[in-house]
Amino acid sequence: MKDIIFCSSPSELSTAVILVAAGIFLILLLLGLVAISFFLKRRLNEKIIRLDQSMQRVVQSEARFQALFDLLPFSCTLNDMSGRIILANDYFCNTAQKPLEEIIGSTMEALGRTVDPEAKKRIEADIKKNGSVSNVEIDVVQNGNTYHILFSSCLIDWKNEKAILSSTVDITKRKRAEEAVKQGEENLRVTLNSIGDAVIVTDINGRITIMNPVAQQLTGWNEKEAAEQPFKTVFNIVNSKSRDPVESPVQKVLSTGKVVGLANHTMLLARDGSEYHIADSGSPIRNDHGEIKGVVLVFRDVTEAYKMAARLRQAEKMEAIGILAGGIAHDFNNILSSLLGFTQLAKMEAGDNETLKKYLDSVSTSGLRARDLVSHILTFSRKSDVKRQKILIDPIIKETLKFIRASLPSNIRIHQDLRVKRARVMGDTTQIHQVLMNLFANAGYAMKNKGGKLEVVLDMIAIDRTDTMQFNKIKPGLYYSLMISDTGCGIPQAIIDRIFEPFFTTKNRGEGTGMGLPTVFGILKEMAGGISVYSEEGIGTTFKVLIPAHAQSGRLDTPPLESKMISGEGNILIVDDEEPIVQSSQGILTSLGYSVTGTTSSREVLEEIEKKPKFYDLVLTDMTMPEMDGLTLARRIKAISPEIPIVLCTGFSEGLTKEMCRSVGICDLIMKPMIAGELSNAVNSALNKRPGKQTN
């Protein structure tokens, strides 16, 4: 059996236990240290890896930043707080014409770029205060040249320090373009303001963007107010005749893309109620791609031209009336001559038959009215011979008012205020009476339904140059002013400009010929006077007549008394290509005691004179005949028998004067149609002028 050894004592046992425990602890400690060392090494390796990765990311980030930095299409720099450049992109380097290595560490001033000190201080102050500035326009001088720059800047953290990231965009070309556009607009505005035409410019929506002063004056809108209004409100146009709205030329241009013009008779209604006849054209405004971006409208006031054209048309109508009058006057007066002559003969044969005489008087009256109608037409067309003389018009006014009173309804009152006594003019009594009758009759017609008041005022006024336009440009001077006012229905504004046109009338069929006012106009124009009209519908009408005042010296010319039948004796030879005129004239003169031979052939007259050069005491000849006119016949008669008196009759005397008649030996000129008294007086007067002869 093996021997078991025991410790000799307890103390030894405790020491052994301690030693064993200590050994175990040391082993465990070593194992812990090894484990800790391994763990720390592993963590360190991980950190190193992460740091390396971070550094790689930083490098990559800086590379990306630099790449993006260099791609920017404008200059960018990164500066430290002292202003030195830390980083610059390629655009900046190219602009500075230096490599990046020379730029880094430099200041802008060192690179030759200078900024106005005051502007620089303001920018630096804003950056410090707000941390950034954005789109500040500054001027930069480099190499002696000034550039317009759009500057932006902000504070950033860069590698644990504050830095300033800045960008500069060169806007020099843009600024120059803007200035060029601005200068162009200014030049355009100066041009628009200086031209005489009105100009309106609109955008694509038809809104007004530009109006020159002429356009503002004509429309009554200023540019600022007009920009807030629809175009149609500012440019309100209608047809001057129908007053219907006219299509907007701007809308027409925008819809068609073509140049357009206004139709004739277009009228602009201004804001203040003024009316202008206008002519215009509208054109599209296109951009570089040919797209319409707006419309330019150019128009002008043609009111005066329109009035002149109207006056020209009226003058042409008057000329046409004159041609027509000249064409019909001769034939018509021939017809009237025979009608009046035979009526006079019939009246002589009527004896005591008063009823027949009354009927014949009516025929004579109608014939004389027809003669007056031809006279009116000839007067209106300025183709009749008028004997002007010194006359007083105030008695004619009184006489005409008395005459017209009988034809007016009792509900029309007449008031006359003749403030001038012995108002003397150079004129024709018949024509003055004609003017008054036409104007008084028109006033009465206007008041025929409801009655009213006819007021006539005669006064003397002085006309200066500023007043002459409304009276057809009469000369300045002293005039008698005759105001004829009624309280009738008035004249519509749409037709008031036409009332002096030939044949224009608003009266019912059979109530007027349309020749009354044109005749008045023609008479007054021939007298160097004028007429104007003012009317309001429902209120009444006022005509203002101006007649030149004549000097108050010299005696008045009084019209001759009504011609009476004068008997006589002698051999008279009558020639007219109208057989009825020959017969009627022959009958009248025969009844007065003359021996009369009549013929329709001027050649027969010459043959008769050649056969009996001393037999005939007087020749009465027509002017217009197919074989030979009256002047030629008179000349040839005088060549055969110089002492024989010749009286010339004509139905139309245009271009024929008494001087011309006297030059071929004609002693008197009388107008057809002749009434018996005129014929007998002319024959008696001519026979009295024959040497050695004296009739009753």
DSSP 227: H
Q: 489 exposed, middle or buried (CB, 10 Å; 0-12, 13-18, 19+)?
A: buried
Pair (322, 292) in one structural domain: no
For the record, the structure tokens of 452 come out as 């009213």
Pair (285, 360) in one structural domain: no
- Helix ranges (DSSP H) in 238-353: 249-256, 303-349
Element containing residue 60 per DSSP (H, E): helix 10-71
Q: Which of 252, 272, 301 is the last residue of a domain?
A: 301
Q: Which of 256, 274, 301 is the last residue of a domain?
A: 301
Strand order in the sheet with 618-622: 595-599, 571-575, 618-622, 646-650, 668-671
- The span from the first CA to the last CA of the chain, in angstroms, equals 223
Q: Which residues of 188-223 are buried (b: 16+ CB within 10 A; e: fewer)?
A: eeeebeeeebbbbbbeeebebebbbebbbbbbbbee
Q: Is residue 27 part of a domain?
A: no
Q: Is residue 455 part of a domain?
A: yes
Q: What is the CATH number of the domain that holds 676?
A: 3.40.50.2300
**632 CB-near residues (< 8 Å, 6+ apart):** none
Pair (328, 287) in one structural domain: no
Pair (350, 247) in one structural domain: no
Query: 431: alpha, beta or left, given left = phi > 0 and alpha = psi -120 to 50?
Result: alpha
Pair (362, 250) in one structural domain: no
Helix H, strand E, coil C: the string for 653-688 is CCCCCHHHHHHCCCCEEEECCCCHHHHHHHHHHHHH
DSSP 392: E
**349 CB-near residues (< 8 Å, 6+ apart):** none
Q: 238 exposed, middle or buried (CB, 10 Å; 0-12, 13-18, 19+)?
A: middle
Pair (457, 502) in one structural domain: yes
Q: What is the DSSP string of 504-522?
A: ---SPTTT--S-HHHHHHH
For the record, the structure tokens of 183 come out as 């200068």
For the record, the structure tokens of 281 come out as 């054209």
Q: Is residue 36 part of a domain?
A: no
Q: What is the CATH number of the domain that holds 436?
A: 3.30.565.10
Q: What is the CATH number of the domain that holds 335?
A: 1.10.287.130
Pair (127, 195) in one structural domain: no
Q: Is residue 314 part of a domain?
A: yes
Quote the domain boundaries for residue 480. 389-548
Q: What is the pTM of this model?
A: 0.45
C-alpha closest to that of 142 among 114, 103, 119? 114
Peptide bond into 560 cis (omega under 30): no
- Helix ranges (DSSP H) in 100-242: 100-103, 117-130, 172-194, 213-219, 223-227, 231-234
Pair (511, 398) in one structural domain: yes
Strands 668-671 and 646-650 come out as: parallel
Q: At what angle do helices 516-526 and 429-446 cross, to 10 degrees?
A: 140
Task: Check residue 554 and give its pLDDT.
Answer: 40
Pair (440, 337) in one structural domain: no
CA distance 575 to 585: 10
Pair (648, 605) in one structural domain: yes
**Residue type for position 182:** K
Q: What is the mean pLDDT of each run of 10 residues along the chain (696 residues)?
A: 50 73 79 73 67 54 67 84 87 86 86 84 86 86 84 85 87 83 75 81 90 92 88 90 87 90 84 89 88 90 81 71 69 80 84 84 78 64 63 88 82 91 86 89 88 92 67 80 92 84 67 73 87 90 91 46 73 92 90 93 92 92 89 92 91 72 87 83 86 54
CA distance 570 to 564: 19
Task: Check residue 229 and give its pLDDT.
Answer: 86
Q: Is residue 608 part of a domain?
A: yes
Task: Check residue 360 and give its pLDDT.
Answer: 84
Please state, as a whole number, how many other Cβ atoms lie within 10 Å of the Cβ of residue 67.
Answer: 10
Pair (348, 395) in one structural domain: no
Task: Check residue 11 and give its pLDDT.
Answer: 66
Q: What is the CATH number of the domain that holds 259?
A: 3.30.450.20
CB contact at 8 A, 266 and 165: no
Q: Is residue 371 part of a domain?
A: yes
How many structural domains comprise the chain?
Answer: 5
Q: Which of 359, 380, 401 is the last residue of a domain?
A: 380
**CA atoms within 13 A of residue 521's CA, in its CB half-sphere:** 20
Q: Is residue 175 part of a domain?
A: no
Q: Which residues of 347-367 are buried (b: 16+ CB within 10 A; e: fewer)?
A: bbeeeeeeeeeeebeebbeeb
Q: Is residue 52 part of a domain?
A: no
Task: Check residue 61 and give its pLDDT.
Answer: 58
Pair (90, 231) in one structural domain: no
C-alpha closest to that of 420 among 482, 468, 486? 482
Q: What is the DSSP string of 130-150?
A: HSEEEEEEEEEEETTEEEEEE
